[in-house]
Amino acid sequence: MNNLRLSGKFNLIFLTAFLVCIIFSGLALSSILNRNTESQTVAKAQIMLQTMDSVRNYTSTQVNPELAPRIEKEEEFLPQTVPGYSAREVFEHFRSKKEYAEFFYKEATINPTNLRDKADEFETELVKHFRDDANAKELTGFRPYASGDLFYIARPITVTMESCLRCHSTPEVAPKSMLATYGKENGFGWKLNEIVGAQIISVPFIETINSSRQILLFVMLAVCIMFSITILFLNLFLKQTVIKPINQMAQVAHDISVGKMDTEFQQTSHDEIGVLANAFNRMKLSLSMAMDMLNNQS
Ligand code: HEC
């Protein structure tokens, strides 16, 4: 450090400070962005789940009462009366847009009426978790998917009403039209208060992560550019106000030391360098007076 020039020392300190700042601010920003990404994803999933619940609610309070009589009379079952069906259909429509293709909604059921609702291995584990822990009202987490992780929110589906058992207990009591459409094999044997499945919404996590990486990169780049410009200006300033005047003073002092008494220290400013130049000029004056006195005596 002692062997370095003034500008070298100055730049070394400045670069060290810059590196420390950039590392700490980068870490802080990335952790804030990560947390932000996570909360955005959670919020997105919660809104979708609430929307699906509203669709289910609309179906059971407004559509079902209108169509229920037809289920008994007609040969073909009307799945439009089933909340789970309408939620799934609405969601499939939503997913048909390319940017939402990786959003998923499923009423994953261990023994479903419609086999498209059959719980896979992962979903079965979630249902088991709900069955084992009666207090668990919601599970969240990540699930690997081809294009990256999916964030999911899962809630238990419980048979809360006696009326459900009409169609989900035994084929004997189920509407004929339903048996004609779905058969007698699946979706029966459910019990009151049993947890039969899990309502699961999954949203992609990767997209939001990418956008926060872009923000991080952009901010870091902007900070680097600003620091570089600052270093450049400070170097110019240092050269102009400190290094150049000091070099000039050194040259003048050298000239005086070899006897060129007609040169003067230039005072170009009123800062510490200027004060120093002034002091040197006074010293030069005393020196030449002392030398004159010596010369006169001899
Ligand atoms: C009128 C008969 C009927 C009644 C009553 C009924 N369901 Fe269903 N439920 C069905 C049919 C049919 C399906 C399959 C719909 C489809 O094609 O997606 C189904 C699907 C479901 C599903 C999706 C998983 C699966 O089995 O495919 C769940 C969960 C479900 N019902 C729960 C309930 C609950 C809880 C109740 C009581 C509040 C209830 N159901 C009442 C007929 C009924």
Q: How far is CA 205 from CA 39, 42, 43, 147, 278, in A?
A: 11, 10, 12, 10, 68
pLDDT at position 205 is 85
- Give me the phi and psi of 107, to 5 degrees please: -100, 75
Which residue has tokens 């030069």? 284
Please name the residue whose Cα sits nearest to atom 2 of ligand 1. 167
Least confident of 34-38, 167-171, 201-205, 278-282: 34-38
Q: How far is CA 217 from CA 22, 24, 29, 261, in A?
A: 12, 14, 10, 60
CA 291 to ligand 1 center in whole angstroms? 114
Least confident of 17-21, 77-81, 141-145, 211-215: 211-215
Least confident of 40-49, 102-111, 213-222: 213-222
Residue 158 pLDDT grade (very low, low, confident, very high; cuts 50, 70, 90): very high
Minimal CA–CA distance to 150: which of 92, 199, 207? 207
Tokens in use for 105? 């909604």
Decide if pLDDT at 194 tops 90: yes
CA 176 to ligand 1 center in whole angstroms? 15
Ligand 1, residue 113: give the atom nearest the CA.
26
Distance between CA atoms of residues 122 and 127, nearest Å:
9
pLDDT at position 207 is 66
- Cβ-based neighbour number of residue 217 at 10 Å: 10
Mean predicted confidence (pLDDT) in 120-145: 95
CA 84 to ligand 1 center in whole angstroms? 6
Euclidean distance between the first and the last CA atom of the chain, given in angstroms as a whole number: 48
Residue 206 pLDDT grade (very low, low, confident, very high; cuts 50, 70, 90): confident
Distance between CA atoms of residues 165 and 135, nearest Å:
24
pLDDT at position 208 is 67
Identify which has the larger pLDDT, 122 or 207: 122
Mean predicted confidence (pLDDT) in 269-278: 90
pLDDT at position 169 is 95
Residue 146 pLDDT grade (very low, low, confident, very high; cuts 50, 70, 90): confident
Mean predicted confidence (pLDDT) in 69-90: 92
Q: What is the mean pLDDT of the chain?
A: 92
Decide if pLDDT at 105 tops 70: yes
Decide if pLDDT at 218 tops 90: yes
Decide if pLDDT at 229 tops 80: yes
User: Is there an atom of ligand 1 within 6 Å of 245 CB?
Assistant: no
Decide if pLDDT at 113 tops 90: yes
Identify which has the larger pLDDT, 256 or 208: 256
Decide if pLDDT at 243 tops 70: yes
Share of the chain above pLDDT 90, in %: 70
Q: Which of 71, 124, 157, 167 to mutate to test the pocket of ligand 1 (most atoms within 8 A of CB)?
A: 167
